[in-house]
Structure 1
């Protein structure tokens, strides 16, 4: 790969420290919050959107289109950042996200909204890939633990605050402002990024691997559609799902073959030769599987079984999120202070396994205090893993591959979340319908196992009580499969080799590894 320079010194640039790093990370954290919040806010506004635009039959695509575009674009953005520098790609992805937001807010029918959500998702994929890679470029692995609390807080804030913000915006400003609210915040991100981000500029003559990118996008699209539609829109054995599975195998198999021959592969396979990176890819998938499954089914359990109001459903996750933030901050400080990290993937896997097993024991007699303690155990496990996964991954590859490595881990986490919701949801629905049939055999089967609060309130008392038992049984099945995933994370953690963390950042003294670069 040929690389040229505008004008660069051979000597190392001094690494930013302390307040400078925090200032540079601020626009990244705001951008990450934007992309994470979007689906949470929009999900709350969807009933109002359908009431205004119609198109109920296309409802699921408002979320699915965004998720698909984000997942498919993430690896490509990561590779582009490695080849051409990250600041320009980050700003470009923010602009695309904002354009998609503005167009979504102006949509006049459901077809337009779905198309504009694709544009939003393409930008969101760039945001996620760029944020993680820029953190790896600005901060050496040995120092990254100091900033883990910021990343953990962003994730927790989006999950807890998203439904609250979405509900408030929809009720008081209208659903279009669920999209328009991104514009002023995004403008702040663009101004701050232009002013404070100082990153290496690459001038590469290498071309992106377009055939590989197309194959990867097609394969990821098929995989996400299988996870989204399987058991819900279509039966698992239906022609549609079987065809999608075949397409996924064909596209991804061809992609792997092509990557061994491409001059500049979009996802270089040599990064998976690193034992630690391969293990963290598995752990990232499992973490997404468990976390997003829990985020979906914990509020459902507390609303249906424990009678908690759905109005502030995001607040029901506070025990889990609080534990996650506290443990992530502690893990970060310990890692930065000692340079040792293997204990955290091991402890994270063990706590995640324990937390899911405890949650699987919940029934109609479980108190809110018990449920909160079980959630805190799970949150502690997630906190051990939240940023350590990315830290180990970035430390396991060459500096020139930080972008694709960060994007790959982000992608695996997203795929894990899709499969977690799909698999746990399928088990939940099947078990709920079975228990309802046992308790109320004379009643017609429920149209859908997951009832909202309004639908539940309309049921007769006997049916409501049966549904409480059915929901408890359904969450037991869902969390039990989650505990098996936790066991896989524990095994991966035990196999991790503790390799010394790099003390230099890609934007600092490691210029030689990047090729000769200038500073933007």
Structure 2
């Protein structure tokens, strides 16, 4: 049975399975981070700390565009099921790891299947639902992704402290088994006429070879300077390989990345919006906890809870955005408003100092969440409506790919700002106190690490080791370090706001394609003419007198 002919009950069942698949992949990314200190302590592998995360990031990002193309060729269900089964098995292997090398290798395998899930889940919605319903549901799916980023750290801490760190991986097993069962029973398989000889093996290999050094280079910028031989060498290698990939794809009959897509306004502009708004998303999720814990002195547990309003804003405005997209013609205003909200929220965060109320930060996060909730479903729905049915997987996975890449670049750039400026800012504030030389404070021990400088337990321990008469001076030092962190975060969020502002400019150039225009299209590779005709048709209707 074709997916678009499903009964209401079948659609509900299939949607529940796809949502579980998204929860499975997105929750894992945030749950594991909390358990990493305990994992390192037990497996004795501090030198592999960063690689556990990097291995997953690299492999998952690489497979997204490849899985998107193969899903168009062979159908979504095989890749969705393969992704879930592989993800669950790799999770079990991660939990059984006996050393950090094994864990890193298994995380890389897990990332391959996680990327397969991310490339498929949003495309399945386009297969099952017409545009009007799809727009609404993608807002909910975006909320699932956002909610995972908030509840993940808390769940990870609870599992690590209660059942042990291995359960941050084992918890995927029951969720995954349920998701596999629901998808296997509820999602129909659409038979394909493609065969393995049509797969662009050379393009996939060159793309992977180019992305690996690029992502590794971005991932190590927190420990290596951008001008270091390691980073520069990897970036140059990545550049050469990715240029080669462009020429390989130009000659492929079924290219993994059809570069003709970039001639299409609806595709190119939405990719730009997705890439640059990811700066705001990851800037908030990753660095806002430093505001709470470092600048305002909130506990780690409470700081995680205080991120919840951003997710609520994302969920609510995802749904609102979906409702508005099907009711207004010029929906580019939603993209402009969403990107502007993110910029406004980041500018407000840049003004936070030690005297700022927690609720002011909550307000700022709600504004950012509203902006993300507006732009997230819009970018996916625009490309899915603009392209022919055969290309919807490629287009959707490309939006996901560029959003992930934007987040990676943003994390690298903003992380470098933090690493390069924090210690000097703290030293400047501490020097202004003119502390007695006999008072030994932890700036030299902490280096530029926020965790060392602002960990409450570490600071409480250090304060307890000081003589009573030094305690007031130590409190002054803590206040100075918070001022230094606030100064650093001021620059960080200003840079993030400036980058996201590029998305505002790009949004003005978005040419709207009617959301109903692409429903039911199952033609071959003729996406650019189809989309251009839809755009021209929309412009002609706008020109007609009311």
TM-score of the pair, normalised by structure 1:
0.92
Does the residue aligned with 1:502 lie in a helix, a strand or coil? coil
The alpha-carbon deviation at position 431 of structure 1 amounts to 2.4
The alpha-carbon deviation at position 338 of structure 1 amounts to 4.4
Does the residue aligned with 1:440 lie in a helix, a strand or coil? helix
Describe how 1:77-476 pairs up with structure 2 within 5 A: 77-205=67-195, 206-230=197-221, 232-338=222-328, 341-441=331-431, 445=444, 446-451=446-451, 452-457=455-460, 458=462, 460-476=474-490
Which of 462, 484, 507 is the aligned partner of 2:498?
484
Task: Report whether the alignment pairs 1:500 with 2:490.
Answer: no
Distance 1:511 1:440 in 2: 65
The alpha-carbon deviation at position 140 of structure 1 amounts to 3.0
Does the residue aligned with 2:355 lie in a helix, a strand or coil? coil
8 Å Cα contact 1:323-1:379 kept in structure 2 = yes
- Which has the higher relative contact order, 1 or 2, with Cα contacts under 8 A spaced 6 or more apart? 1
Distance 1:14 1:136 in 2: 9
Distance 1:175 1:294 in 2: 26
Larger Rg: 2
8 Å Cα contact 1:399-1:514 kept in structure 2 = no
Distance 1:350 1:322 in 2: 18
The alpha-carbon deviation at position 502 of structure 1 amounts to 2.7
Partner deviation per Cα, 1:461-481 (whole Å, 9 max, x = no partner): 232112100111111111101
8 Å Cα contact 2:350-2:490 kept in structure 1 = yes
Distance 1:326 1:75 in 2: 29
Partner deviation per Cα, 1:312-360 (whole Å, 9 max, x = no partner): 4321212211111111111112223446522211111111111111111
2:60 match: 70
Distance 1:410 1:455 in 2: 39
Distance 2:13 2:486 in 1: 46
**How many equivalent residue pairs?**
501
Distance 2:144 2:229 in 1: 41
8 Å Cα contact 2:294-2:485 kept in structure 1 = yes
8 Å Cα contact 1:431-1:470 kept in structure 2 = no
Distance 2:253 2:428 in 1: 60
8 Å Cα contact 2:271-2:399 kept in structure 1 = yes
TM-score of the pair, normalised by structure 2:
0.88
Partner deviation per Cα, 1:421-479 (whole Å, 9 max, x = no partner): 11111112222212122123476544223123333443632321121001111111111
Q: State the 4+ residue runs in structure 1 displaced beyond 6 angstroms.
A: none
**RMSD of equivalent CA atoms:** 2.0
Distance 1:197 1:514 in 2: 25
2:29 match: 39
